[in-house]
Structure formats: structure tokens, C-alpha cells
């Protein structure tokens, strides 16, 4: 009998051992865009692999195809991704269409508090409906659209005196959008070290989200609002306000008078190329790229500096960044949640920032040494205080494509006036909200 | 069943196949008529056709009368009648896309036929290096449209592009003073140029086949009759090559009506919507905006247009062949 009990116990132990080791060694796939921070995340995740016994696979898709690829995957109930670092605008669709796992119970159980993360990032990356305590993602990567410039050119005496002679003021980081345009126009076509250079690289891309992200970087500082009353979808007078018209005209003037020739379909990659090849004095791009730009041997280091998207009527930056979600179609949800728990750890968040990711954790952002940790760290904090995001509705893709079309038609293709473009945009958006049953 | 040993040297292939058919199967098919056996052979193909062609078509027609969205499978599907068709046909953007398609279609076919026929006529002459030139000329059509789109993008680059450099060399205009892909006026022509460059060899090959099918004795008879070269061209060459030429136009017309890859690589439909052809517009509606019902209606309209035009054209082609 004793032998029988012993054998039974041994068998059960062996079974338990094997089943537990099987549960511990899942292969998780994390999906994200292919860019600098993704490489940092690969490095960071080695710690998770060591601690958990799970292995990490990564599916990184270039930005222009990222939304198409991932939204198709989600809409078809695909099991490719266990974890997805999806764009902030996808949160509404992710939640309403059941693509993302709701994380409230998990957060409660693991004592992960959203109060530990920067409020703007929680609002933008995690909640749906907006601002309610319903969480579908953990803030993973804070980001905003900012600017960088050739500090070495700005410091040159001949250029400074020429600028002062032309404008009557000192050349320096612009304090307003209009000052920025003036600086860009000053550099446009100027010869520096025997080479013709141009004012600035801005976003004009038509295919995905480029020009919308660029134009909103002008609209927000002019005080642009999507609705008169939040949640009412009453866009008339808000989207096409006099300030919005002025901002859109400003962006067009910027494009026409201060960007390199042929800059008609440009986004992140083109902006980086234009700057790194010494073509432009300034460029707009996401903060996520700033660590790489600072480390660039040719145009980084003491040749570069950074500034927040300048205000005009108000402070305003276009929000980038993403939250990390567990895909509801995954068969490995438990292991994926383990990853989220590990990622939320303040020590991992500190390491994340150190490797080049933008942590949204308060313990990192409020650390006394944070501002001095990188030349753009202080700007990042300022930018995140004034961020504004595009619609995060489930129908965000339709809303985005309509804006891409209307603003590209006006800014790049010279079609109609700014007022007509914004009026047409309201018409398009109204149609979308009517289809959605929200109007 | 016969014993293999009994099989004589005079048996036919059919007999051999019959002998090799397993007994069980032979029993099963022994009772089938020729018609039934024929159905067994064509059945799989018909089922495949129904599954991959006819069913999707019927399903698309059904969806075109609904508000279905493929990214919202849980939402109730509502029957909307002809609303999608009405919205499409009254939407100015649809007509802008159709105009862009018509412009692209007309000019690409015009240039491809003109240049393709001329090249075929030249290549048809006997000269040294004839084969080498033929190979060089057909190279562009062997490339992938994605590759062609990408490298023409570099060629059109205003600051460093070879195309702008060549134009500068001939005209003296500054290379960065014009943007082939960024200008509203030039972008529609830039896609016409690239498509012409890529597909003229195809038209040339078809025309060459036509030219080589004309028997020499007809020209010899024309020479005896003292017909001029000009007269020979209009009364012999062109009429006899015409069916081939019309076939080339049909192929290129259908292909360019649904042109997508090359133009997406080159301009992405821009600047603005200047080069947004019908197929690009359709893709945006279907797979970016996810308006499945609406885009199904658009697809049906495009299908009917292409099918209708092609049918009329094929009738005309048959008439030309009968002459």
C-alpha cells in the first residue's frame, strides 16, 4: 500500500512538474512598429525571459504599414500577437470590438495603479470610453511630436548676424509657430559650407497618417478643438473655426516656403534623412527618435538640440505613443499578463528609459535626475503637459483617412481654400458619425 | 479482369489503362455513362470556379446593398437598398477618381500603341544585333511593379533625380524647379511615363507577332503592282496587324483600368488625390475605411464598366478579324 501511495505521489509530482514547466515556458509574440524603441524593447525583454522562463518573439512592422497590418490582424481575430503595442487611436476600436482584454481586474489583483503613470498617458493610451476608469492598455511609450535643429548652424556668427539683419532679433529656439516659420524661411535656399540647405522637414505623407500628424502640430497651438462640447460630435464652428483656418493656412505656407523641393509625401523616415544628410536646419519628428538622433555621429552630439512644438495661441503638441495591450484572441493570455506585470515594475520602467524607451511611469518622470538624464528629457515633460490626440473613436481609421485627403488636397495639391478643406472635413466626419449611429 | 499474362502485344493504351484500374474502382465506374464520367472530370473545376469566382461575386452583390463593415463583425447588418450606389454616383470624389483613371488609361494606351508599334516595325527589319535589342527593350516588363515604382521615384527626385537632370540638360531649367511627383499638373503625366516605359515592350511583342505573320508574297505582289511603301503600310501592314494591335489594347486597357501597385509606389495617389485611380480609391474604402458595403457597390460598378466595355470591344475585334 505504501509502495502504491509512493508511486502515485511520484507520478503526480512528475506530471505536476512537467505541466508546470510547460505552463512556464510559453513563446510570446509582441507586435509593434519597427523603429528605434522597438530595438530597445528587445534588449529590455531579455530580463523578462530570464525571470519568467518564457521566450519572446517580436513582430515589428514599418510605420507606413503598421496600422494596416495590425488592424487587419485584429479584425480577423488573428492569433499572431499575444501582446500588442498599438497606437493610441486604436483604443476605442480595440475596446468596443473586443480585440483587447480589459485589464481592470488584473490591475486590481496585481496592485498595479494607474495613478503611478502620467495622467495624460493614462487618458490617451489606456482608457475607453475616454477618461473613464476602464483600462485596456498599460502606458508603454510616451511620445509627442517635437522639433530638433542644427545647433552648430544656429551658433555660427555669420548666420546669426545675417538673421539679425533680416529679422531684427537673435537667432535661437523659436518661441512661437510664426517665429519658427521665420527661421525656416531664413534658412530656405541658403548656402552653408558650399551646400544649399533648406528650412525644415515637416510631415506631408498622404498614405497613412503623416500629414494629419503634421497639420495637427499647427492646429493644436492655434487652439483647435474637434468638438464644441466634448462627446457631442458638434464640429461646426470648432473644426472650421477662424483659428483653425489660420493654422491650416500657416501649415501650407510653411510647406510652400520653407521645405526642401520634392517634399510632397514625407513622414518620419524622410524627416530623419533630410536632417541627417544636412539638408535642413530644423525638422519635426517624434520624441521617440531623439535618442538615436542625439547619438548620430555626424549630426548628433553638440550639433543638435531639441525643442517642444512652439505655442501660438496656446501650448499644444500632437500626441504620439502607445499603450501595451493583451490581445483577446491569444491562447497565452496568462503569460502575456505576466509580461504586463513585469513591465509595470518601476525598476523595469527606469531601465526602459535608460535604453531609449519613453517611460510614462511617475517614478521615472518625477525622478530629480530625469531632466538632466538626456538633453531632450525636459522638453519631453513639457510636451507631454500639452498633448492632444486625434479622434480615438472605433471609426478612427475612417476619420483619419478623410483628414489625410482633405488636408493633403489643400496643402500639397493646392485644391480650394483652408476653409473649404475644413468644411469638407466636417461633412466627411459627420457622415462617419452618422454611419456609426452617433449623430 | 484479364490476367496480365494474357495481355497481348496488340492492346491499345486505353486497354492498358483499363487493365491497370483497380478492380474496386473499375466496378464503380463501369455503370457510369460517358456524360457522368465527363462531369466527374469537369466537376472539380466547376466547384473551384463557383467557390473562388461566382460565390464571391454574388456575395459582393449582396453586401453592396448593406451597411456591412468587415472590421465590425458584431454589428447588425442593415439592408440599405440602393443607398450605397446613390452615394457613390453622387460623390464628386468618385468622379474625380474615374477621371484620373480615364486620363491614365487613354494616354498610356495611346503612347504604348504608338511607340510599341514603331519599335516592332523597326525591330522587324533585319539588322545586326536585332536579338540583343529585342532583349534590351523587353527588360522593363520583366521587372516587378514595386521595383519599378521605387526606382522611378528616385529618378524623379527633384534634387538628385536622373530624370530631372536630363530635363535640365535639355532645357536649362533648374532641376529642383519642377517636381514630377509633387506637382498637381505633372504627377498624372509622371505615372503615364512610367507605365509606358514598363509596358510598351509588351505591345511591341504583340505587334511584332502580327508583323511576322504577314506573308512576304503579299509585299512582293504589292511591289510588282508598284505600290509605294506608304501605300503598302496603309493597305497591307496596318490592316493585317490591326487585330493584334486591338488585342494588345484590350489587354493593356483591362490591366490599366485596375492599375494599383505601380501608382501606389510612385505617388500613393497624391499629391492630394490627383493620381488616386479608381482601384486605389476602392482599396482605401474597403481596407482602410472598412466601408465594406459601400466599397462592394463601388467594385460592382467598376466590374460592370470593365465587363461592358470589354464585351463591346471584343465584338469589334471579332468583326475586324472577320474582314
- Per-residue pLDDT of chain A in tens (439 residues, 90 and over written 9): 454 555 455 555 444 444 444 456 899 999 999 998 999 999 999 999 999 999 999 999 998 889 888 988 998 889 999 999 999 889 988 998 899 999 999 999 999 999 999 998 999 999 999 889 999 999 999 999 999 999 999 999 999 999 999 999 999 999 999 999 999 999 999 999 999 999 999 999 988 899 999 999 999 999 999 999 988 999 999 999 999 999 999 999 999 999 998 888 899 999 999 999 999 999 999 999 999 999 999 999 999 999 999 999 999 999 999 999 999 999 999 999 999 999 999 999 999 999 999 999 999 999 999 999 999 999 999 999 999 999 988 888 889 999 999 999 999 999 999 999 999 999 999 999 998 889 8
Alpha carbon distance A294, A288 (integer Å): 11
Q: CB atoms < 10 A from the CB of B118, how many?
A: 13
DSSP B175-210: GGG--TTT-TTTHHHHHHHHHHHHHHHHHHHHHHHH
Answer whether B290 touches A (CB < 8 Å).
yes
DSSP A287-324: GGGHHHHHH-TTTSGGGEEEEEPPPSSS--EEB--EEE
Task: Give SS3 for B112.
Answer: helix
CA contacts within 13 A on the Cβ side of B278: 25
Residue labelled with grid coordinates 494474357: B6
pLDDT above 80 (res B205): yes
Tell me, what's the pLDDT at A22?
45
DSSP A373-420: HSTTHHHHHHHHHTEE----STTHHHHHHHHHHHHHHHHTT--S-HHH
Tell me, what's the pLDDT at B3?
52
Tell me, what's the pLDDT at A17?
41
When pLDDT is cut at 50, 70 and 90, the band that residue B49 belongs to is very high
| Helix extents (H) in A25-62 | 36-52
Tell me, what's the pLDDT at B29?
66
Read off the pLDDT of residues B216-247 as tens digits, 9 standing for 90 and up: 999 999 999 999 999 999 999 999 999 999 99
Inter-chain CB proximity B158 and A397 less than 8 Å: no
Q: What is the mean pLDDT of chain B?
A: 89
What is the rounded radius of gyration, in angstroms, for the C-alpha atoms of chain A?
A: 24
Which residues partner with A361 through β-bridges?
A: A117
Please report, for chain A, how many H helices and E strands are present, in that order: 20, 13
Four-point Cα dihedral B293, B297, B298, B303, nearest 10: 130
Inter-chain CB proximity A415 and B290 less than 8 Å: no
Residue labelled with grid coordinates 531632450: A376
Average pLDDT over residues B77-92: 93
Residue A95 Cα, gap to closest chain B Cα (Å): 12
Inter-chain CB proximity A264 and B181 less than 8 Å: yes
Alpha carbon distance B74, B142 (integer Å): 45
Residue labelled with grid coordinates 509512493: A6
Tell me, what's the pLDDT at B102?
96
Average pLDDT over residues B158-182: 87
Pairing mode of beta strands A27-33, A83-87: parallel
Inter-chain CB proximity A207 and B269 less than 8 Å: yes
Pairing mode of beta strands A195-196, A191-192: antiparallel
When pLDDT is cut at 50, 70 and 90, the band that residue B12 belongs to is confident
What's the DSSP call for residue B6? G
Pairing mode of beta strands A145-150, A280-286: antiparallel
Using CA coordinates, name the residue in chain A closest to B164. Answer: A262
Tell me, what's the pLDDT at B24?
76
Alpha carbon distance A372, A428 (integer Å): 45
Query: Contact A253/A178 with Cβ under 8 angstroms?
Result: no
Task: Give SS3 for B143.
Answer: coil
pLDDT above 90 (res B19): no
Inter-chain CB proximity B272 and A401 less than 8 Å: no
Residue B272 Cα, gap to closest chain A Cα (Å): 4
Class of domain B85-322: mainly alpha
Residues 139-158 of B with CB under 8 A from A: 156-158
How high is the ipTM of this complex?
0.73
Tell me, what's the pLDDT at A130?
86
Residue A88 vs residues A361, A389, B88, B183, B310: alpha-carbon distances, Å: 17, 8, 31, 33, 46
Tell me, what's the pLDDT at B239?
92
Tell me, what's the pLDDT at A218?
98
Using CA coordinates, name the residue in chain A closest to B66. Answer: A435
Tell me, what's the pLDDT at B240?
93
Tell me, what's the pLDDT at A64?
82
Orientation of helix B278-287 relative to helix B292-322, angle to 10°: 150
Catalogue all structural domains in chain A, each as residue range(s) with its CATH number: 28-143+321-388 (3.40.190.10), 145-318+395-435 (3.40.190.10)
Contacts of A373 (CB under 8 A, 6+ apart): A353, A367
Contacts of A331 (CB under 8 A, 6+ apart): A79
Residue A154 Cα, gap to closest chain B Cα (Å): 24
Q: CB atoms < 10 A from the CB of B185, how many?
A: 9
Residue B54 Cα, gap to closest chain A Cα (Å): 23
Task: Give SS3 for A286.
Answer: strand
Domain residue extents for chain B = 4-63, 85-322
Which chain A residues are Cβ-neighbours of B157 within 8 angstroms? 262
Cell of B50: 463557383
When pLDDT is cut at 50, 70 and 90, the band that residue B6 belongs to is low
Alpha carbon distance A358, A117 (integer Å): 12
Alpha carbon distance A200, A211 (integer Å): 15
Query: Contact B104/B194 with Cβ under 8 angstroms?
Result: no
Which chain B residues are Cβ-neighbours of A93 within 8 angstroms? 71
Least confident of B23-27, B274-278, B301-305: B23-27
When pLDDT is cut at 50, 70 and 90, the band that residue B33 belongs to is confident
Cell of A297: 555621429
Amino acid at each position: 500500500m505504501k509502495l502504491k501511495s509512493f508511486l502515485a505521489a511520484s507520478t503526480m509530482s512528475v506530471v505536476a512538474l512537467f505541466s508546470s514547466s510547460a505552463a512556464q515556458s510559453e513563446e510570446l509574440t509582441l507586435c509593434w512598429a519597427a523603429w528605434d524603441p522597438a530595438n530597445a524593447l528587445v534588449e529590455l525583454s531579455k530580463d523578462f525571459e530570464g525571470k519568467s522562463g518564457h521566450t519572446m518573439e517580436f513582430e515589428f512592422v514599418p510605420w507606413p504599414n503598421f496600422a494596416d497590418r495590425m488592424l487587419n490582424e485584429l479584425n480577423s481575430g488573428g492569433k499572431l500577437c499575444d501582446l500588442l503595442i498599438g497606437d493610441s487611436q486604436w483604443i476605442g476600436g480595440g475596446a468596443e470590438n473586443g480585440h483587447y482584454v480589459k485589464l481592470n481586474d488584473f490591475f486590481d489583483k496585481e496592485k498595479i495603479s494607474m495613478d503611478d503613470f502620467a495622467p495624460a498617458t493614462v487618458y490617451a493610451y489606456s482608457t475607453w470610453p475616454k477618461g473613464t476608469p476602464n483600462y485596456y492598455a498599460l502606458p508603454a511609450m510616451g511620445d509627442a511630436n517635437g522639433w530638433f535643429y542644427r545647433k552648430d548652424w544656429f551658433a555660427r556668427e555669420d548666420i546669426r548676424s545675417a538673421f539679425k539683419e533680416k529679422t531684427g532679433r537673435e537667432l535661437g529656439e523659436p518661441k512661437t509657430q510664426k517665429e519658427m516659420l521665420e527661421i525656416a524661411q531664413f534658412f530656405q535656399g541658403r548656402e552653408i559650407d558650399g551646400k544649399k540647405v533648406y528650412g525644415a522637414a515637416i510631415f506631408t505623407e498622404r498614405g497613412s497618417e503623416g500629414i494629419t500628424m503634421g497639420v495637427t502640430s499647427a492646429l493644436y497651438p492655434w487652439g483647435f478643438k474637434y468638438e464644441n462640447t466634448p462627446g457631442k460630435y458638434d464640429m461646426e464652428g470648432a473644426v472650421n473655426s477662424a483659428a483653425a483656418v489660420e493654422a491650416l493656412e500657416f501649415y501650407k505656407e510653411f510647406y510652400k516656403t520653407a521645405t526642401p523641393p520634392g517634399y510632397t509625401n514625407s513622414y518620419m523616415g524622410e524627416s530623419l534623412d533630410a536632417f541627417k544628410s544636412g539638408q535642413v536646419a530644423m525638422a519635426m519628428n517624434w520624441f521617440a527618435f531623439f535618442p538615436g538622433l542625439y547619438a548620430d555621429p555626424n549630426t548628433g552630439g553638440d550639433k543638435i538640440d531639441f525643442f517642444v512644438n512652439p505655442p501660438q495661441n496656446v501650448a499644444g503638441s500632437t500626441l504620439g505613443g502607445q499603450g501595451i495591450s493583451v490581445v483577446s484572441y491569444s491562447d497565452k493570455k496568462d503569460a502575456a499578463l505576466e509580461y504586463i506585470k513585469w513591465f509595470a515594475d518601476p525598476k523595469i520602467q527606469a531601465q526602459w528609459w535608460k535604453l531609449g524607451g519613453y517611460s510614462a511611469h511617475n517614478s521615472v518622470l518625477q525622478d530629480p535626475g530625469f531632466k538632466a538624464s538626456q538633453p531632450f528629457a525636459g522638453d519631453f515633460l513639457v510636451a507631454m503637459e500639452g498633448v492632444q490626440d486625434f479622434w480615438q473613436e472605433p471609426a478612427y481609421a475612417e476619420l483619419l483617412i478623410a483628414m489625410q485627403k482633405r488636408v493633403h488636397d489643400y496643402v500639397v495639391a493646392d485644391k480650394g481654400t483652408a476653409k473649404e478643406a475644413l468644411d469638407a472635413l466636417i461633412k466627411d466626419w459627420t457622415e462617419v458619425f452618422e454611419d456609426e449611429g452617433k449623430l | 479482369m484479364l490476367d496480365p499474362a494474357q495481355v497481348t502485344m496488340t492492346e491499345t493504351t486505353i486497354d492498358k489503362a483499363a487493365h491497370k484500374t483497380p478492380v474496386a474502382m473499375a466496378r464503380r465506374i463501369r455503370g457510369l455513362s460517358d456524360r457522368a464520367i465527363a462531369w466527374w472530370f469537369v466537376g472539380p473545376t466547376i466547384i473551384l470556379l463557383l467557390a473562388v469566382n461566382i460565390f464571391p461575386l454574388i456575395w459582393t452583390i449582396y453586401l453592396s446593398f448593406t451597411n456591412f463593415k468587415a472590421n465590425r463583425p458584431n454589428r447588425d447588418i442593415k439592408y440599405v437598398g440602393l443607398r450605397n450606389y446613390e452615394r457613390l454616383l453622387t460623390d464628386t470624389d468618385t468622379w474625380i477618381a474615374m477621371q484620373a483613371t480615364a486620363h491614365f488609361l487613354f494616354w498610356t494606351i495611346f503612347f504604348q500603341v504608338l511607340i510599341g508599334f514603331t519599335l516592332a516595325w523597326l525591330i522587324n527589319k533585319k539588322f545586326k544585333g536585332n536579338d540583343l535589342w529585342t532583349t534590351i527593350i523587353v527588360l522593363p516588363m520583366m521587372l516587378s511593379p514595386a521595383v519599378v515604382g521605387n526606382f522611378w521615384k528616385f529618378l524623379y527626385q527633384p534634387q538628385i533625380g536622373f530624370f530631372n537632370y536630363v530635363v535640365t540638360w535639355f532645357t536649362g531649367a533648374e532641376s529642383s524647379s519642377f517636381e514630377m511627383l509633387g506637382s498637381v499638373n505633372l504627377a498624372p503625366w509622371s505615372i503615364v511615363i512610367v507605365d509606358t516605359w514598363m509596358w510598351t515592350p509588351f505591345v511591341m511583342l504583340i505587334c511584332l507577332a502580327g508583323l511576322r505573320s504577314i506573308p512576304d508574297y503579299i509585299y512582293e505582289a504589292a511591289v510588282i503592282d508598284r505600290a509605294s511603301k506608304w501605300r503598302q503600310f496603309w493597305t497591307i501592314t496596318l490592316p493585317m496587324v490591326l487585330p493584334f494591335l486591338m488585342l494588345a489594347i484590350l489587354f493593356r486597357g483591362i490591366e490599366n483600368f485596375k492599375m494599383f501597385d505601380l501608382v501606389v509606389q510612385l505617388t500613393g495617389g497624391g499629391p492630394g488625390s490627383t493620381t488616386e485611380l479608381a482601384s486605389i480609391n476602392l482599396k482605401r474604402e474597403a481596407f482602410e475605411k472598412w466601408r465594406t458595403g459601400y466599397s462592394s457597390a463601388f467594385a460592382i460598378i467598376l466590374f460592370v464598366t470593365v465587363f461592358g466595355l470589354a464585351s463591346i470591344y471584343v465584338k469589334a475585334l471579332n468583326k475586324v478579324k472577320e474582314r
